Amino acid sequence: MSKLLIFVSTGRCGTKRITEILSEKLGDKIIIKHQMPISRIANIIGNVMFIFGGNEKIKTCLFRKVIKGNSPMVIVDPLISMILPHNYILSEDVFIVNIHREDAAFATSMFKLSRSKVKSFIAHNFFPFWQPYLIPFENLFSSKIKKKYEKINEIKNDFFRKTYNSNNNFITVDMAEVFGSDFLSDLIFKCFDIKIVISKEDLQKKTDSTTIE
């Protein structure tokens, strides 16, 4: 198995900007993937399995559509965070990084996205299991929706820590550290033995997100 770096998160943790930075700095040396054709269905199935129980065959089938070929790869896609197969979790060639964000900040950002992007609005209001425990139209009508998103953030990050800490290369890191230190460049060197320079300007630059997290 080639080296594989997977960022898992609840979304709204700067994954689009990470993708932009690494795509620019690594060029064609490493394959960088953000949201893919399989991402949306993987997100829904992952949340269903989170609630009702996982199935390794389903996870493996979905993940094979993400991993194509045998090239080193970085996956920065929150929507596939719940479907990592057990054999990948246990592989010494796989590095799993859980980026987390303070509950209230995540909730505010996710709610804002769900009201500013049409695709995100549709996903959060019409797709059952787009988020675990979020029911259709709750985003639209509940006065406590931000509290619900805070709880979702807490639950999913707890799942990531408990499920993926058996990976020997597992790291959990705050979003603020990712964008306020040399964390990314150090991580790429650790995973792929490739030196890159990421400036403070690179890290602080905003992205116009088009994701539907």
Domain definitions of the chain by residue range: 4-102+156-204
**Cα dihedral across residues 131, 104, 96, 113: positive or negative:** positive
CB atoms within 10 A of CB 118: 8
CB 26 within 8 A of CB 196: yes
Q: What is the structure's pLDDT at 122?
A: 96
Q: What is the structure's pLDDT at 213?
A: 83
CB 169 within 8 A of CB 96: yes
pLDDT tens across the length of the chain (213 residues)? 799 999 999 999 999 999 999 999 998 899 999 999 999 999 999 999 999 999 999 999 999 999 977 899 999 999 999 999 999 999 999 999 999 999 999 999 999 999 999 999 999 999 999 999 999 999 999 999 999 999 999 999 999 999 999 999 999 999 999 999 999 999 999 999 999 999 999 999 887 655 778
Q: What is the structure's pLDDT at 208?
A: 60
Using alpha carbons, list the distances in angstroms from residue 29 to 19, 103, 110. 14, 35, 33
User: Helix, strand, or coil here: 54?
Assistant: coil
Q: For 69, left (φ over 0), alpha (ψ -120 to 50), or beta?
A: left
Q: What is the structure's pLDDT at 1?
A: 78
User: Helix, strand, or coil here: 33?
Assistant: strand
Q: What is the structure's pLDDT at 69?
A: 78
- How far apart CA 209 and CA 12 sit, in angstroms, is 9
- pTM listed for this prediction: 0.95
Encoding tokens for residue 195?
């030196």
Q: What is the structure's pLDDT at 153?
A: 98
Fold of 4-102+156-204: Rossmann fold (3.40.50)
State the DSSP code for 139: H
First to last CA, the chain: 29
Phi, psi for 34 (deg, rounded to 5): -110, -115
For residue 109, the surrounding DSSP H or E stretch is: helix 103-116
CA angle 137, 139, 142 (to 5 degrees): 90
Q: What is the structure's pLDDT at 206?
A: 81
Pairing of strands 94-100, 31-33: unpaired
CA 142 to chain centre: 26
